[in-house]
Amino acid sequence: MRVVVTAGPTREFIDPVRFLSNPSTGRMGFAVAAEAARCGHDVVLIAGPVALPTPKGVSRVDVVSAREMCDAVLSVVGLPDNPTVVVSAAAVADWRPATCARKKLKKRHMDGVLNLVRNPDILKRLAGVERRAGGNLRLVGFAAETGDAVCEAVRKCREKRLSFIVANDVTEPGAGFGVETNKVAFVYPDGQVEQLPLMSKRSVARRIVRQLQHLYP
């Protein structure tokens, strides 16, 4: 099957030298892409700005902003033939500045107010594609939360028509950004939850890909 993985952060520029972003390193998404390729799947990795090498056997598309990532995902998912799973592991910015200045803004010209507009929700866009795909497209999300990650993950899973969602509380030791480990739960639309112990991101990726393969028996 084709596995499309998004990974890393996005950047939403205020001016040519300033942007809104987050601490995602892309390690989890890159690990999923590497494991899917190792298992023989056709893998496309759509990566935000990260300092990671491309995994062996993976086709990579580099993007910067949320809108660029959305366009890249939709263009790949639109390809015919193979059953496709989209694994949305990227930490996509929900908001962007309403305007981006062409030149660096001077402090004396800034009034301390930044007007924001919503970015496209990539999984919601894909839910519309999934309805028309006749079972040939499955969606898997990630929910990086603080506090009750599972409760929010159940809501997102149902609202975005996901096959399952990988949830984690980024405030737990070893499960946040910039570390080699993760502690996640697989959450399903019916409310079923499979809690995994703290393990390496590579091991989490193996469990995710194993679950992906159950989507097209």
Q: Catalytic residue among 22, 82, 119, 182, which?
A: 22
Provide the domain limits for residue 132.
2-213
- Strands, E assignment, the chain: 2-7, 12-15, 18-20, 42-47, 58-62, 84-88, 95-97, 116-118, 137-145, 164-169, 181-182, 185-187, 193-195, 199-200
Of 75 and 148, more confident: 75
Structure tokens at 148: 């009750």
Checking if the pLDDT of 119 tops 70, the result is: yes
Strand-pair category, 185-187 with 193-195: antiparallel
> Is residue 22 flagged as an active site residue?
yes
φ/ψ of 13, rounded to 5, equals -80, 135
Q: 195 and 187 in contact (C-beta within 8 Å)? A: no
Residues 162 and 156: beta-carbon distance below 8 Å:
yes
Confidence label for 81 from pLDDT (cuts 50, 70 and 90): low
Q: Tell me, what CATH number does 87's domain have?
A: 3.40.50.10300
3-state secondary structure of 99: coil
Q: What pLDDT was estimated at residue 133?
A: 66
Ranges assigned E (strand) in 8-94: 12-15, 18-20, 42-47, 58-62, 84-88
Task: Retrieve residue 175's tokens.
Answer: 């499960």
Structural domains of the chain, count: 1
Which of 27, 191, 10 lies closest to 93, judged by CA?
Answer: 10
131-182 pLDDT per residue, tens: 776 678 999 999 999 888 888 899 999 999 999 999 999 999 988 888 999 9
